[in-house]
Structure 1
Amino acid sequence: MAPWREPVAVVVHDHGNGPEPCFRDDYADKATHDRSRGRGHGWGRGWTQWPVRVLLGALTLSVVVASGAAGIERYLTRKYMSPQAPLTQASITTADKAGWTKQGGGLPDHAPPVVLTFHDVNKSSKSPYVLTPKTFDAQLTALEKAGYRTLTAKQFTHYMSGGPVPRRSVLLTFDDGTDGLWKYADRILAKHKMHGTIFLITGSMDKHRPYYLTWREIERMNRSGRWDFQSHTRAMHSVKQVDAAGNTGAPLMNRLWLKDEGRRENTAEYRARVLHDLAGSVKDIVNHDMPTPTMFAVPFSDGPGQQDADSTDSQARHLLKELFPLVMTDHSSVPLTASRRSASAGLVQRVEVYAQTTPEQMLTDVARNVQVPADAHRPLSEPENWGGRQTRTSFDVFLGKAPSSARTPRYAKADYRPNSSVDWTDYSATALLGSLGNGTNQAALGVRTNSKEPVTVVITRNRATLLVNGYKVASRPLDPKSDHTVTVEVGRNTTTAYVDGLVELSHVSDQPSDQLSGGITIRAGINKAGNQWPVFESLDVSPLEDASRHG
């Protein structure tokens, strides 16, 4: 056991100024003073101790909050962003590339763009509207090899609002806003350094996962610079009941049936509903820090001629124009592909691409919609470029090679490049018409095809008649013979026809000139089955030498 010791009177103690002797008698007083002055020196002593402690607490809290926020972000990313699939590449041969390059040959280097419609890109879908990643890769490669570039929505709108004609180009559009565009198409688009425009059903985003995109995916795609986003309605991509019989139709184009009230919407109710939806779709896009949409794609591509019985189509078009300068459709009664005339009308027809569309077929379809100049020599030798034929026989009916039988139709019509001559004006078309027989058959040369005011010159053995919109406006006798030469000069507003260089028929339109452009049409007819068909011996189209003096 250790011996008991008497405590010493002096101890060494540190009161904050280093070791110093401290008498036991006043130790308690010094210690109390030390505590009251907070030791007085260094960080965390004296008056600095509480700010330091608050700072350290705040730092600790910020770490905790940041850690929590990172955890929440990881959770939301996993929930609202699908992982992108590895890049898939098509097996493309050298011969494929050479063929695609050849298909682009002969087309103008600068021309109005062609708009293509895609829907989705996915690996496992059997839908005719869904492309596999390999098919999509092959199609973009074909466009590259054929000399096409892609436009942004801003570039496309700039041209359509009067900007210069761009290099040979396409606008790639995708309807609905499906998740496959993020999962598969995005990396393929990046590989080709191309650009896409998606028309969103904004009310479906973040819903029906994983079919539709999420806003997080959309925001990421927008930041990449590869994608633009436009409107496809907020919640009108569906069919609804439109009458008491239970018939259905597109909510955009139809007044809906109000079941509880046993009636259809009136005009004011229809207008309010549609405007609310369209404005909502615009708001959804703008609220996610993207530019205000300038384009709209019609659900199901319900265009003119596809409306319900009492025709609310004109109302729908009017409402769309209030919000969108350009409206896209895949089906319309007049094939207004991207052009000055379609810009004036505010309606653009697109070229739809399906799962079974080969790259070669897609390039052919695009080429048919590229606007070409009004300069065609021997177009009768290009039967593949004539459309709109209203006959059960081949194009040979116009060349004197049609079979003669009781089943042969009595009328035939064909339009030359109907989709790619939309902007034609200031041109001259000349045709030599033969085998006009004894007046039982007739041939016609039409101009301004599919415009607001098409003009047709009808020739028989002994008479020339000028029709405007199908109505006779002039008629002149001809020297009776079996062949006549017709030349039609097309100015901005004036159409003048000359027959055999002697007989003149003319018409001046009061319609806006931007609604009068269009290409040529040939027609042939017989009055009785078995009669001789007239023959188009030759045909030529060329620009007017002095366009400024016409119209």
Structure 2
Amino acid sequence: MKTARAVPVLMYHHVSPSPGLVTITPENFRAQMGWLAGNGYTTIGCDDLAGFIAGKPLPAKSVLLTFDDGYLDNYVYAHPILAEFGLKAALFVITGRIGDGPARACAGEGTLPDTPAHNACKAAVQAGRADAVMLRWSEVDRMRAAGSFEFHSHTHNHTRWDQVEADPDRRQLMLVDDLTRSRATLQARLGHVTPHLCWPQGYFDDAHIDAAQQCGFSHLYTVERGSVLPHADASRIRRIVTKDRGAWWLGSRLAIYRRPWLGQLYERRS
């Protein structure tokens, strides 16, 4: 069996018919997932990536799909498409924004809930209406049961503490509290918590890394572009921002980022 020399980690946010920032249409997402399935790709989990970083081999065509935040449209549109093709993704949830209540309809189940554009989602959260645009724990349970998503931390409050508190000691205490609450929520709701954490807006520094490791997070995901190589630094896992384009775009990017030398050359020139 041929083994991977590099693993691309793709970063998504929204899969929705509402156009806007960090959003891919259901049609383009389905085309991308169909291309992965049709071309022999293996969608791995975060623990698989951790094993690869530690030196454990993975199939040559391995890719990790990641989603940030935990928007309702991930359940309504991305979840049924992943299930259709037998693929899976990792979702970094803002635990303080996930609500309670019955699961809503997803694609193929009848009348679908509204899935607003990114800026409208942010406005709803700020107005105290997070439930209208974010996941519920009942939907998380359905996604886990289907095997379409696994769940990890994106902090509890999605706060850039460096922009909130000037005093470094107080800022560190706030960050540790935020991460501790996220871990406790995941443990209570899912029955387990993983060592995988994605930073809000990709921001981190040495103090952030220290706080995360103190709280039990060892694999830290950024927005720095690039693929993951064996024995990479687990405290700064690189990802590739996805575009609202079809299968040809995804195929061209994976052809680049699965090859370490080509990916590095592409990064220097772009």
Task: Using structure 2 for the length normalisation, give the TM-score.
Answer: 0.79
Asked whether the equivalents of residues 12 and 66 of structure 2 are also in contact (C-alpha less than 8 Å), the reply is yes
Pairing partner for 1:146 from 39, 54, 66? 39
Pairing partner for 2:202 from 280, 301, 306? 301
Give the RMSD, CA atoms, in angstroms. Answer: 2.4
User: Is 2:143 the counterpart of 1:221?
Assistant: yes
| Structure (1 or 2) with the greater strand fraction | 1
Q: Spell out the pairing of 1:113-192 with structure 2 (5 A cutoff).
A: 113-123=7-17, 125-192=18-85
- Give, in angstroms, the shift of residue 187 of structure 1: 1.0
Pairing partner for 1:368 from 231, 240, 256? 256
The amino acid that maps onto 1:210 is A
Asked whether the equivalents of residues 152 and 194 of structure 2 are also in contact (C-alpha less than 8 Å), the reply is yes
Change (3 A) 1:386 1:350: closer
- Give, in angstroms, the shift of residue 126 of structure 1: 1.6
Alpha-carbon separation, structure 2, partners of 1:339 and 1:178: 30
Unaligned runs of 5+ in 2: 100-128
Identity %: 24
Q: Secondary structure at the match of 2:189?
A: coil
Change (3 A) 1:354 1:345: same
Over residues 246-265 of structure 1, what are the superposed CA-to-partner deviations in whole Å (9 max), with x where a residue is unaligned? xxxx32xx1634xxxxxx32
Asked whether the equivalents of residues 3 and 58 of structure 2 are also in contact (C-alpha less than 8 Å), the reply is no
Change (3 A) 1:291 1:299: same
- Give, in angstroms, the shift of residue 134 of structure 1: 1.1
Over residues 135-178 of structure 1, what are the superposed CA-to-partner deviations in whole Å (9 max), with x where a residue is unaligned? 11001112223331101233222322332233411111000001
Over residues 440-467 of structure 1, what are the superposed CA-to-partner deviations in whole Å (9 max), with x where a residue is unaligned? xxxxxxxxxxxxxxxxxxxxxxxxxxxx
Alpha-carbon separation, structure 2, partners of 1:120 and 1:389: 28
- Give, in angstroms, the shift of residue 114 of structure 1: 1.3
Asked whether the equivalents of residues 339 and 371 of structure 1 are also in contact (C-alpha less than 8 Å), the reply is no
Alpha-carbon separation, structure 1, partners of 2:26 and 2:163: 39
Q: Secondary structure at the match of 2:220?
A: strand
Q: Secondary structure at the match of 1:349?
A: strand
- Give, in angstroms, the shift of residue 345 of structure 1: 4.5
Alpha-carbon separation, structure 2, partners of 1:371 and 1:321: 30
Pairing partner for 2:241 from 352, 370, 379? 352
User: Is 2:5 the counterpart of 1:111?
Assistant: yes
Pairing partner for 1:279 from 165, 171, 180? 180
The amino acid that maps onto 2:248 is E
Partner of 2:213: 321
Change (3 A) 1:162 1:139: same
The amino acid that maps onto 1:350 is R
Over residues 360-400 of structure 1, what are the superposed CA-to-partner deviations in whole Å (9 max), with x where a residue is unaligned? 2222222222144x7xxxxxxx9x9555259xxxxxxxxxx
Partner of 1:45: none
Asked whether the equivalents of residues 113 and 166 of structure 1 are also in contact (C-alpha less than 8 Å), the reply is no
Partner of 1:340: 230
Change (3 A) 1:364 1:138: same
- Give, in angstroms, the shift of residue 130 of structure 1: 1.4
Unaligned runs of 5+ in 1: 1-107, 238-249, 258-263, 304-312, 375-381, 391-551
- Give, in angstroms, the shift of residue 301 of structure 1: 1.7
Alpha-carbon separation, structure 1, partners of 2:86 and 2:191: 21
Number of residues paired by the alignment? 238
Asked whether the equivalents of residues 3 and 57 of structure 2 are also in contact (C-alpha less than 8 Å), the reply is no
Alpha-carbon separation, structure 2, partners of 1:369 and 1:158: 19
Task: Using structure 1 for the length normalisation, give the TM-score.
Answer: 0.41
Alpha-carbon separation, structure 2, partners of 1:389 and 1:288: 44
User: Is 2:259 the counterpart of 1:388?
Assistant: no
Alpha-carbon separation, structure 2, partners of 1:293 and 1:338: 19
